[in-house]
Structure 1
Amino acid sequence: MTDFFSELSDILFLDIETASVESSFDALPERLQDEWIKKEKLINKSEEEYKAGSLFFEKAGIYAEFGKVICVGVGYFKFDKETKTLRFRTKSYAAESEYDSLLDFAELLQKKAWILCAHNGKEFDFPYLARRILINRIPLPEPLQMAGKKPWEIGHLDTLELWKFGDYKHYTRLELLAAVFDIPTSKEGIDGSQVNDAYYNQNDLQAIREYCLRDVLVTAQIYLAFQGLPPEIEFEIINLDLEQE
């Protein structure tokens, strides 16, 4: 068990929160407006007529070309062999500018050969981060580089993929996994559907930070559950954001 906890320290659990790149469709450069209208026609499932650009505020944040990263939450375990204490350290990167947030996050990724873990990370978090890092003209950190690598050389874990067991049609929400494994919910305060409003209309980046870090913690607890560890396993949570205040 001690060896497992030591190896666990190589995994960086993460979650991202995203918003539309601008507060409104009208604020987009003309070229991006044209591209969004094309995208919007593909994602609109309603047969009712709608005004071009009306889906931008609600939907743009999920696309890296039309959205931006407003918070990256991370967490990692550290096992103290002398005291036999397991600690989970968390931190959020949520500066006023996306560039500053991603630059600080990229610097963290360069500090060691992290294995990245997120829920639906391979489909969303990892590619979204890589795209926005490049859009911000930041060199892509090694843990996010995939070109030329064989599948087993890519250090990415995905709790959604692990739960699928090869069933590629099966999507399971993080909250559902938390419920079946009896892990406390992360859905207190805001939820993902409210992030854009909290960011642009409420100016409540702190609520977004807290929500993001709760998802990081739940993802880490689900990963432990996948290893057969009991839900009552104890570890100390250290929020590094609080230590900087």
Structure 2
Amino acid sequence: MNTKINFEHILFLDIETVPEVENFNYLSEEKQELFALKTQYQRKEEFTAEEFYDRAGIWAEFGKIVCISVGFFTHFNSDERKFRVTSFYGDEVKILEDFKELLTKHFYKPQHVLCAHNGKEFDFPYIARRMIIQQISLPEKLNLFGKKPWEIPHLDTMELWKFGDYKHYTSLKLLTAILGISSPKDDISGSEVGAVYYKEKNIKRIVTYCEKDTIAIAQLLLRFNNEPLIEELNIVHV
């Protein structure tokens, strides 16, 4: 596989999301009804809407972003190669505004590309939807209106692994395992983020988890292109 992209032009990212409020009963009556309708197919008759609410974070209409981690390469083709990682976390509006500022000031040129695992189905549209909900104008890299498929500046490591097999889903955990990359899932999993956020109130643990995912996504793209993996000493947290 050869993406023919300069690695220094790629912004790797991952997001962590949780239900917008801790408890289903904290929602308005209207929002409860809307959630029940939205999840009716997935729940069938196995769960009530209230029992299903711990999964609400996967929908931008009922969840919120608590962390966006990003990473990028510097000096890629030299002995000084570094992978720099940073995170935006806390209040969602501040997260989105800071992320937008990064895109508009540093990753705004035509050659710049965003990369995530399952990003086209989840991370990119989720961020865009939450921006609209929070009344934040979309940066160019997330505004896809009127763009042809080949003009969309997004890479998706899961899509690349499909090789045209659109029925195929492969998790980040599975791909890292089979490709000999350190697992980012050595502490918590995505399904546990809500509890860590609301019960433990441990945002730092979520940030660490999100940053590990971001690094793993970069490692995947390196492996796809037969490039050497990032060594731990070359990862810089900023």
Kept in 2, the 8 Å contact 1:72–1:92? The answer is yes
Deviation string 1:64-83 (CA, Å, 9 cap, x unpaired) is 000000100100000177x6
Is the counterpart of residue 165 in structure 1 residue 173 in structure 2? no
Kept in 2, the 8 Å contact 1:73–1:93? The answer is yes
* 2:74 matched residue in structure 1: 78
Deviation string 1:97-133 (CA, Å, 9 cap, x unpaired) is 1101111011111113231000000000000000001
Query: Residues 189 and 233 from structure 1, CA distance in 2 versus in 1: closer, same or farther, beyond 3 angstroms?
Result: closer
Which runs of structure 2 are paired with 1:196-235 in the superposition (5 Å)?
196-231=194-229
Deviation string 1:10-38 (CA, Å, 9 cap, x unpaired) is 10000000000011111112221110111
Which runs of structure 2 are paired with 1:55-134 in the superposition (5 Å)?
55-56=52-53, 58-79=54-75, 84-95=79-90, 97-111=91-105, 112-113=107-108, 114-134=112-132
Q: Distance in 2 between matches of 1:223 and 1:203?
A: 33
Deviation string 1:120-157 (CA, Å, 9 cap, x unpaired) is 00000000000001111111011001001111111000
Kept in 1, the 8 Å contact 2:87–2:211? The answer is yes
Kept in 2, the 8 Å contact 1:86–1:236? The answer is yes
Deviation string 1:191-222 (CA, Å, 9 cap, x unpaired) is 11110000000000000000000000000000
Opposite residue 35 of structure 2, the aligned amino acid is: W
RMSD between superposed Cα atoms in Å: 1.8
Kept in 1, the 8 Å contact 2:8–2:76? The answer is no
Kept in 2, the 8 Å contact 1:40–1:53? The answer is no
Deviation at 1:233, TM superposition (A): 6.6
Q: Distance in 2 between matches of 1:233 and 1:227?
A: 16
Q: Where does structure 1 lack aligned partners over 5 or more consecutive residues?
A: 241-245
Is the counterpart of residue 26 in structure 1 residue 4 in structure 2? no
Opposite residue 171 of structure 2, the aligned amino acid is: R
Residue 149 of structure 1 is aligned with which of 142, 147, 150?
147
Kept in 2, the 8 Å contact 1:183–1:218? The answer is yes
TM-score relative to the length of structure 2: 0.92
| Structure 2 SS opposite 1:14 | strand
